[in-house]
């Protein structure tokens, strides 16, 4: 008993020490960067804060996002800035952690005096920063958060991304009317939130459009044995398989389907985007997987084409959805400030909310009355000759 | 559909059985649960992948080479991580050492190959045969045949050869075997080698069957095979085979007729149930402890 208590105290002490150490580190780092920033703030510039991770698990979203934002700011300054003032980006790496993004958002607002923050690409992190932004009356513009409960936080919160609830009904409509698929199979990856949230959206849309769900099944993300699911599917008589999970399992499902002689198209959200889909699936995914997303670098509009060329020239790589959305977010903010003739967030946020049919590089954006973005068109991407390939662009019908 | 699912289950189960044999043999002799065994299986799968994709080996040659490689790896692991501890410290330290080796090997592979899933090239052309309403693929036949062959070979070796006799003697009483003039260390090394070779064969076949290998594949497969070994009665070779096969069938049937959400729950729930009713496992022998 006594020994147990002792060790518990020791553990608590260790924990406290660790926390103190971590806190010490981050505050030191901040102080150093704060000084550097203080020198710059002599010249009066409009500051935008970058929210996103450039290291860690979700750095894949943040790194291209940051590049898009840098490019947008340089483009703005080349055109003379906003309302005659220079635009300046402030960049911190939030590592995809809630505690980091809270610190960074507070730092941007109190020390850097930003007028708006651009990011984060993740829903959970955006919510943390949005609470802080709303309280301090600073605009936050997420370029990627697709989950629910984001813009509901308050009237300073915006986002610019294709929402599943708007995209899915149009995608289902396309499947039923353009492809003639009426009998649906749905497979959900049980242990990922993205999949369990997307499945009900599909179910609802299919029911609303009069389609029939002939079989619903589940898999666990990270497994490889899907023999039983495919055998069941083979006997269900579905025209198309809706799979709401990630690319790895999509490739393995199609591998197994091919082995069992089942010829079916698998359709899902942008969770299927990942080059491992092609590497793992090879000919089993060739023209047999379709996913929808908001951005494609194939067959671009003139605006997008110019953006892609410039991006490739500067960064020597293809832009993705996140670079395009961050780029647009900065440009939309600039437009709102110019139209409102003010850089005060309390003023230009109302102009921002009235945005209609903005022809961005990531598609057209309109804000609904509740500030939810409606982006059009949706890109349907498939795999052709071992590359992602734009199959079709379909418009989003606003309800 | 039932027969097809049964076949799916048998195929999955025979890979579990191949891994479970390694657990059970090592446990039978040194009473050590070799947690690194799942990683040996993973190394076998990767060895096969490298041989097939870079050296153009065919499936059987790649499997034999991977088995040889894993034999050496198994002996090496035993030499480095278990033998120095044997007899000198408690059984618990050997177990911790095994967990350490497991983590070391899986992260080593993650460092070398990345954490992504790699595709296994199609080494044999896909072909399926129809038996009435039953679709039987060539790969399934191959897995079942090779597993059966390996298991029969193992049983023959253990029952009919000199080294098999030595293994059985060691599993009954290590100290007495030593006193009778059996080179105990060599028998233990041999046991690790045989178990590892079986795991490697399983790894290569699973890689080819599902077209996918990744550094952490040994973790869950190892746990499942361990459950199969315990269910069949740890230490018993026929028990590991029966345990593996029944675990595979139960899992597939669970997915087919209940839901995938229960897949692992069924596997481990059955383990608990079997142990409650027959603590020594399906084929295990009740051992009365000397007090």
Number of domains composing chain B: 1
Task: Identify whether residues A49 and A113 lie together within a single domain.
Answer: yes
Instruction: Report the residue of chain B nearest A248, measured CA to CA.
Output: B117
Structure tokens at B252: 């597939």
- pLDDT for res A398: 64
Cβ of B211 within 8 Å of Cβ of A276? The answer is no
Residue A38 is predicted with a pLDDT of 46
Q: Does B137 touch chain A (CB under 8 A)?
A: yes
Question: Hunting for tokens 């899933």 — which residue is that?
Answer: B117
Q: Is the dihedral of CA A348, A350, A356, A360 positive or negative?
A: positive
Number of neighbours of residue B4 by Cβ within 10 angstroms: 22
Partner-chain contact B217 A224, CB within 8 Å: yes
Instruction: Decide the pairing of beta strands A358-360 and A363-367.
Output: antiparallel
3-state secondary structure of A213: strand
Residue A203 and residue A245 in one domain: yes
Of A50-64, B39-53, B128-142, B231-245, highest mean pLDDT: B39-53
Shortest distance, CA B272 to any CA of chain A (angstroms): 22
Chain A residue closest to B118 (CA)? A280
Based on the number of CB atoms within 10 Å of its own CB, is A155 exposed (0-12), middle (13-18) or buried (19 or more)? middle
Rounded to the nearest angstrom, the minimum Cα separation between B260 and chain A is 6
Q: Which domain holds residue B175?
A: 14-115+135-217
Tell me the pairing of strands A139-142 and A387-394: unpaired
Interface test with A, best of B255, B256, B259, B267 (most A CBs within 10 A): B255
The predicted model scores a pTM of 0.80
Residues of B in contact with A231 (CB under 8 A): 1, 4-5, 8, 256
**CA B237 to CA B234: how far, in whole Å?**
8
Which residues of chain A have a CB within 8 Å of the CB of B247? none
Residue A216 phi, psi (nearest 5):
-120, 130
User: In this model, does residue B194 exceed pLDDT 90?
Assistant: yes
Is there a contact between B33 and B25 (Cβ–Cβ < 8 Å)?
no
Is B31 an interface residue toward A (CB < 8 Å)?
A: no
Give the pLDDT mean for B233-253.
90
- Give A202→chain B minimum CA distance, Å: 20
Asked whether residue A36 is assigned to any structural domain, the reply reads no
Min Cα separation A225/chain B (Å): 7
Does residue B238 sit within a domain?
Answer: no
The tokens describing A315, both together, are 């960064």
Higher pLDDT, A36 or B284: B284
Question: How far is residue A362's CA from residue A57's CA, in Å, rounded to a whole number?
Answer: 24
Q: Do A248 and B117 touch (CB under 8 A)?
A: yes
For B265-269, what is the mean pLDDT?
82
Pairing of strands B134-137, B128-131: antiparallel
Q: With 70 as the cut, is the pLDDT of residue B213 above it? A: yes
Measuring CA to CA, which residue among B65, B67, B64, B83 is closest to residue B26? B83
**Beta strand A116-118 pairing with A139-142:** parallel
Give residues with Cβ within 8 angstroms of A205, minimum separation 6: A168, A169, A171, A172
Nearest to B260 among A217, A231, A255 (CB): A217
For residue A187, give the chain B residue with the closest CA: B260
Residues above pLDDT 90, as percent of chain B: 56
Torsion of CA B241, B244, B250, B251, to 10 degrees: -160
Residue-wise pLDDT for B50-63, tens only, equals 999 899 888 899 99
Q: Do B191 and B29 meet the contact criterion of CB atoms below 8 Å apart?
A: yes
Segment A138-176, tens digit of pLDDT: 999 999 888 888 999 999 999 998 888 889 999 999 999
User: Please, what's the largest Cα pairwise distance for chain B?
Assistant: 60
**Measured between alpha carbons, how far is A288 from A290 in angstroms, rounded to an integer?**
7
Distances (CA, A) of B176 to A339, B131, B244: 93, 53, 32
Torsion of CA A227, A283, B60, B141, to 10 degrees: 30
Return d(Cα A220, Cα B260) in angstroms, integer: 7
> How far is Cα B54 from Cα B37, in angstroms, rounded to an integer?
26
- Residue-wise pLDDT for B149-193, tens only, equals 999 999 999 999 999 999 999 988 888 999 999 999 999 999 999
User: Do the domain assignments include residue B89?
Assistant: yes
Cα Rg, chain A, nearest whole Å: 23
Residue A230 lies in a domain: yes
- The answer on A202 and A151 residing in a single domain is no
Which positions ≥6 away from B271 have C-beta within 8 Å? Answer: B227, B230, B231
Rg (CA), chain B: 19
Give the pair of three-digit tokens for residue B113.
Answer: 């190959």
Say if B60 falls within a structural domain: yes
Is the CB of residue B255 less than 8 Å from the CB of residue B263? yes
What's the mean pLDDT when you consider all of chain B? 89
- Specify whether A146 is located in the same domain as A235: no
Distance from CA of A227 to the nearest CA of B (A): 6
- How many other C-beta atoms lie within 10 A of the C-beta of residue B95? 17
* Same domain, yes or no: A201 and A262: yes
Please check the confidence at residue A21 and state whether its pLDDT lies above 80: no
Helix H or strand E segment including A389: strand A387-394
Q: Is B212 on the interface with A (CB under 8 A)?
A: yes
pLDDT of residue A30 exceeding 60, the answer is: no
The answer to whether residue B144 sits within a structural domain is yes
- Domain ranges, residue A70: 44-162+301-367
| pLDDT, tens digit, 9 for 90 and up, residues B30-78 | 888 899 999 999 999 999 999 998 998 888 999 999 999 999 999 999 9
Residue A26 has what pLDDT? 47
Asked if A218 contacts A253 with a C-beta cutoff of 8 angstroms, the reply is no
Rounded-to-integer distance, Cα B234 and Cα A111, Å:
64
Q: Quick check: B255 contacting A, CB < 8 Å?
A: yes
Which residues of chain A does B259 touch, with a Cβ-Cβ cutoff of 8 Å? 217-218
Instruction: Please state whether beta strands A289-293 and A378-384 pair in parallel, antiparallel, or not at all (unpaired).
Output: antiparallel
Which residues of chain B lie closer than 8 angstroms to A232, CB-CB? 1, 255-256
Q: CA triplet A342, A35, A337: central angle to 5 degrees? A: 10
Number of domains making up chain A: 2
**What is residue A315's predicted lDDT score, i.e. its pLDDT?**
94
Residue A97's CATH number = 3.40.50.2300
Residue B267 has pLDDT above 80, yes or no: no
**Would you say residue A20 lies in a domain?**
no
Which of A217, A225, A261 minimises the CB distance to B12? A225
Q: Looking up tokens 């989950």, which residue turns up? A: A147
The Cα-based distances of A109 to A18, A133, A398 in angstroms read: 28, 8, 35
Kindly report the nearest CA distance between residue B217 and chain A, in angstroms.
9
Tell me which of A225, A230, A276 to substitute to probe the interface with B (most B C-beta atoms closer than 10 Å).
A225
Q: Do A227 and B11 touch (CB under 8 A)?
A: yes
Residue B26 maps to a domain: yes
Same domain, A188 and A104: no
For residue B266, the model assigns a pLDDT of: 80
Instruction: Let me know whether A305 and A352 are in one domain.
Output: yes
Whether residue A120 is preceded by a cis peptide bond, meaning omega within 30 degrees of 0, is yes
Chain A environment of B117 (Cβ under 8 Å) = 248, 276, 280
If asked whether residues A110 and A238 sit together in one domain, one would say no
Statement: residue A4 has pLDDT above 70: no
User: How long a stretch of residues is chain A?
Assistant: 399
The alpha-carbon gap from A247 to the nearest alpha carbon of chain B, in Å, equals: 11
Angle between helices B184-210 and B138-160 (to 10 degrees): 170
Question: Which of B211, B218, B220 has the highest number of chain A CBs within 10 A, making it the mutation to test binding with A?
Answer: B211
Residue A89 — very low, low, confident or very high, per pLDDT cuts 50/70/90?
very high
The per-residue pLDDT for A190 is 87
Q: What gap in Å lies between CA A172 and CA B181, rounded to an integer?
A: 75
User: How many helices, marked H, and strands, marked E, lie in chain A?
Assistant: 12, 15
| Mean pLDDT value of segment B248-272 | 85
User: A278-282, B4-8, B244-248, B270-274: lowest mean pLDDT where?
Assistant: B270-274
How far apart (Å, rounded) are the C-alpha atoms in residues A52 and A61?
A: 8
Q: Are residues A241 and A388 in the same domain?
A: yes
* Residues of A with Cβ-Cβ distance to B244 under 8 angstroms: none
Nearest to A279 among B119, B137, B264 (CB): B119
- Interface membership of B168 toward A (CB under 8 Å): no
pLDDT above 80: residue A282: yes
3-state secondary structure of B75: helix
Q: Is A22 exposed, middle or buried (0-12, 13-18, 19+ CB in 10 A)?
A: exposed
Among B284, B263, B264, B262, smallest CA distance to B274 is for B284
- Which of B233, B231, B235 has its CA nearest to residue B271? B231
pLDDT at B80: 94
Does residue A156 lie within any of the structural domains? yes
Q: Name the helix (H) or strand (E) containing A307.
A: helix A302-315
- Dist CA A109 CA A115 (whole Å): 8
Residue B164 maps to a domain: yes
Q: Do A202 and A265 belong together in one domain?
A: yes
My answer on whether A171 and A184 are in the same domain is yes
Residues of chain A contacting B207 with CB distance shorter than 8 Å:
none
Taking contacts as CB-CB distances below 8 angstroms, the residues of chain B near A261 are 128, 135
**B52 to chain A, closest Cα gap in Å:** 16
A332 and A282 within one domain: no
In the structure, what pLDDT confidence band is assigned to residue A27 with cuts at 50, 70 and 90?
A: very low
In a domain, B177, yes or no: yes
Q: Is the CB of residue B190 less than 8 Å from the CB of residue B30?
A: no
Name the DSSP letter for residue A82: B
Cβ contact B227:B268 at 8 Å = yes
Q: Which band of pLDDT confidence, cut at 50, 70 and 90, is reported for residue B99? A: very high
Both tokens assigned to B21: 């044999």
Chain B residues touching residue A280 (CB < 8 angstroms): 117-119, 211-212
- A398 against A74, higher pLDDT: A74
- Whether residue A116 lies inside any domain: the answer is yes
B31 lies in some domain: yes
Identify the band that residue A32 occupies on the pLDDT scale cut at 50, 70 and 90. Answer: very low
Complex-level ipTM: 0.86
Mean of all residue pLDDT scores within chain A: 87
What is the rounded average pLDDT of the residues A21-33? 48
């Amino acid at each position: 008993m006594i020994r147990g208590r002792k060790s518990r105290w020791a553990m608590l002490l260790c924990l406290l020490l660790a926390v103190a150490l971590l806190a010490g580190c981050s505050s030191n780092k901040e102080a150093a960067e704060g000084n550097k920033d203080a020198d710059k703030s002599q010249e009066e510039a409009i500051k935008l804060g970058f929210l996103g991770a450039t290291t860690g698990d979700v750095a894949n979203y943040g790194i291209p996002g940051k590049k898009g934002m840098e490019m947008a700011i340089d483009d703005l300054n080349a055109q003379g800035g906003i309302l005659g003032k220079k635009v300046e980006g402030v960049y911190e790496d939030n590592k995809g952690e809630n505690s980091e993004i809270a610190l960074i958002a507070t730092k941007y607002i109190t020390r850097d005096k930003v007028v708006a923050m651009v990011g984060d690409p993740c829903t959970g992190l955006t919510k943390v920063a949005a609470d802080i932004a709303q309280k301090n009356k600073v605009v936050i513009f997420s370029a990627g958060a697709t989950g629910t409960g984001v813009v509901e936080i308050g009237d300073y919160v915006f986002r610019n991304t294709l929402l599943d609830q708007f995209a899915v009904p149009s995608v289902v409509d396309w499947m039923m009317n353009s492809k003639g698929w009426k009998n649906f199979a749905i497979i959900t990856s049980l242990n990922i939130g993205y999949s369990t949230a997307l499945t009900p959206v599909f179910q609802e849309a299919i029911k609303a459009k009069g389609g029939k769900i002939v079989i619903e099944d589940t898999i666990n993300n990270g497994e490889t044995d899907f023999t039983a699911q495919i055998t069941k599917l083979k006997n269900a008589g579905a025209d198309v398989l809706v799979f709401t999970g990630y690319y790895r399992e999509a490739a393995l499902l199609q591998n197994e389907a091919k082995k069992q002689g089942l010829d079916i198209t698998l359709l899902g959200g942008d969770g299927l985007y990942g080059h491992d889909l092609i590497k793992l699936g090879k000919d089993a995914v060739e023209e047999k997987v379709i996913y929808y997303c908001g951005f494609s670098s194939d067959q671009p509009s003139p605006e997008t084409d110019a953006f892609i060329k410039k991006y490739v020239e500067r960064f020597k790589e293809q832009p993705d959805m996140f670079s395009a959305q961050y780029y647009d977010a900065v440009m939309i903010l600039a437009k709102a400030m110019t139209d409102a003739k003010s850089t005060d967030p309390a003023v230009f946020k109302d102009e921002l909310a009235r945005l209609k049919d903005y022809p961005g590089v990531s598609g057209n954006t309109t804000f609904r009355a509740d500030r939810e973005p409606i982006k059009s068109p949706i890109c349907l991407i498939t795999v052709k000759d071992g590359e992602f390939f734009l199959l079709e662009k379909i418009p989003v019908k606003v309800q | 559909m039932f027969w097809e699912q049964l076949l799916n289950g048998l195929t999955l189960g025979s890979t579990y059985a191949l891994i479970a044999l390694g657990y059970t043999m090592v446990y039978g002799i040194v009473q050590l649960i070799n947690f690194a065994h799942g990683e040996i299986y993973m190394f076998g799968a990767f060895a096969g992948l490298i041989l097939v994709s870079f050296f153009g080996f065919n499936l059987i040659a790649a499997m034999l080479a991977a088995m040889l490689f894993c034999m050496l790896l198994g002996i090496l692991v035993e030499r480095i991580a278990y033998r120095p501890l044997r007899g000198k410290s408690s059984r618990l330290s050997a177990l911790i050492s095994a967990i350490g080796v497991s983590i070391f090997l899986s992260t080593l592979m993650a460092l070398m190959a990345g954490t992504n899933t790699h595709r296994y090239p199609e080494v044999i052309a896909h072909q399926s045969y129809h038996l009435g309403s039953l679709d039987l693929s060539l790969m399934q036949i191959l897995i079942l045949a090779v597993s059966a062959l390996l298991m029969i070979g193992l049983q023959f070796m253990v029952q009919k050869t000199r080294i098999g006799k030595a293994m059985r003697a060691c599993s009954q009483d290590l100290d007495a075997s030593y006193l009778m003039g059996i080179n105990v260390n060599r028998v233990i090394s041999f046991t690790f080698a045989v178990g590892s070779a079986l795991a490697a064969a399983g790894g290569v076949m699973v890689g080819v069957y599902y077209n996918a290998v990744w550094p952490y594949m040994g973790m869950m497969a190892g746990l499942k095979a361990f459950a199969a070994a315990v269910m069949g009665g740890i230490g018993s070779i026929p028990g590991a085979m029966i345990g593996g096969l029944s675990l595979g069938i139960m899992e597939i049937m669970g997915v087919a007729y209940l839901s995938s959400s229960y897949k692992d729950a069924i596997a481990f729930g059955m383990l608990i149930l079997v142990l409650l009713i027959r603590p020594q496992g399906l084929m295990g022998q009740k051992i009365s402890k000397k007090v």
